[in-house]
Amino acid sequence: MIGAGSWGTALALQFARAGCDVRLGGVVELDLLEAMVTDRENKRYLPGVVFPPNLRACPTLAECLDDVRDILVAVPSHGLRDTLTQIKPLLRDDSRICWATKGFELHSGKLPHQVAGEVLGSDRSMAVLSGPTFAKEVGEGLPTAMTVASGDSEFAQALAVAISDGTFRAYTSEDMVGVEVGGAVKNVLAIGAGMSDGLGFGANTRIALINRGLVELMRLGIALGAKRETFMGLAGMGDLVLTCTDNLSRNRRMGLALAAGKTVEEAQEEIQQVVEGVLAARAVKEVADDLGIEMPICQQIYRILYEGVSPRAAVEALMGRELKPESE
């Protein structure tokens, strides 16, 4: 496992609970990893959750990846390319890579599987792990379901078996594009849901935003080659609803903070962890513009974050759009 933040640690704990021998490493916060060697827990991100004996923190990448075949990377989207570049020289020829990263790469607009293909080569087995989850709940062993998507069905099945146990169930898919797009766009929409609730707009507004946001997510995903049915599953609608409705979501909390009058920088300082939706809003807008895809909700969230538009003005712009059939 590469990535010792809350999400990487939670997934490492789950693989260990399911019976795997797990090494947990990273490319940043090496002081945190050194502390975990002694403390046997991640006191910064998942305090109180003790590591089982088969989970070992490794302060160096060389120790973490020594003679390892299957590797899971859990880092923010803006750090994925650099992380893969650093681990590449340490991989075995038959090493298989999975990531739990959500988001388009900023500026290039590439999805994680495209970034991984460029860095590691397209002939290596790759997969993505995604779905409606919070690190805290996975870390505590609460019942959870996720999706493993890969063009290599054997690898997807092996990962699903390795992570599943009595409280965790993994489903497999071949649609890596759909699973990745769902994970990227939902973070943007969750900021919007937080702003809506923070402004007191109520349940009607929230569900309208989620439903029409799902339409936008599907438009973009299908244009990129995803399967429509993927967006009705865990990595689509499931992840979107969870992230938009629960305050464990950093992206939703960002929206709540913006509605309370805080700046993006003030909200980020308050949350103290990466809020993927902020960068994702820019990347999603760029990809949608390049493809000519209409995504009015995501567009307005971008304008709030980067152009100084007020949340109330954004809502007025959305509600004042030309009426059209629901199917469009």
CATH number for the domain that contains residue 98: 3.40.50.720
> What pLDDT does residue 227 have?
98
Rounded Cα distance, 36 and 56, in Å = 9
Q: Which residues pair with 169 in a beta bridge?
A: 145
> Which residues touch 308 (CB under 8 Å, ≥6 apart)?
none
Q: Which residues pair with 57 in a beta bridge?
A: 24
> What pLDDT does residue 86 have?
96
* Boundary residue ending a domain (133, 149, 174): 174
Number of domains in the chain: 2
CA angle centred on 140, ends 33 and 177, rounded to 5°: 80
> What pLDDT does residue 274 have?
83
115/195 same-domain check: no
Rounded Cα distance, 36 and 84, in Å = 23
Question: Looking at residue 228, what DSSP letter applies?
Answer: G
220/163 same-domain check: no
159/203 same-domain check: no
Q: Which residues pair with 97 in a beta bridge?
A: 71, 126
* Boundary residue ending a domain (174, 201, 221): 174
Query: What CATH number is associated with residue 238?
Result: 1.10.1040.10
In a domain, 206, yes or no: yes
CB 304 within 8 A of CB 258: yes
Q: Which residues pair with 147 in a beta bridge?
A: 130, 171
Which residues in the chain show pLDDT less than 70?
none
pTM of the model: 0.95
199/168 same-domain check: no
Rounded Cα distance, 285 and 109, in Å = 9
In a domain, 325, yes or no: no
What are the φ and ψ backbone dihedral angles of 33, each rounded to 5 degrees?
-65, -40
200/294 same-domain check: yes
> Which residues touch 241 (CB under 8 Å, ≥6 apart)?
132, 210
Question: Looking at residue 78, what DSSP letter applies?
Answer: G
In a domain, 328, yes or no: no
23/73 same-domain check: yes
60/139 same-domain check: yes
In a domain, 179, yes or no: no
CB 146 within 8 A of CB 130: yes
In a domain, 300, yes or no: yes
Give, to the nearest 10 degrees, the angle between helix 176-198 and helix 296-307: 60
* Boundary residue ending a domain (174, 203, 223): 174
CB 328 within 8 A of CB 321: no
139/244 same-domain check: no
In a domain, 1, yes or no: no
Catalytic residue list? 186
In a domain, 222, yes or no: yes
Report the Cα 179 to chain-centroid distance in Å: 10
In a domain, 326, yes or no: no
Q: Which residues pair with 25 in a beta bridge?
A: 2
29/105 same-domain check: yes
Range of the domain at 15: 6-174
282/311 same-domain check: yes
> What pLDDT does residue 242 have?
97
48/153 same-domain check: yes
> What pLDDT does residue 159 have?
98
Q: Which residues pair with 56 in a beta bridge?
A: 23
> What pLDDT does residue 24 have?
97
265/138 same-domain check: no
Q: Is 233 helix (H, G, I), strand (E, B) or coil?
A: coil
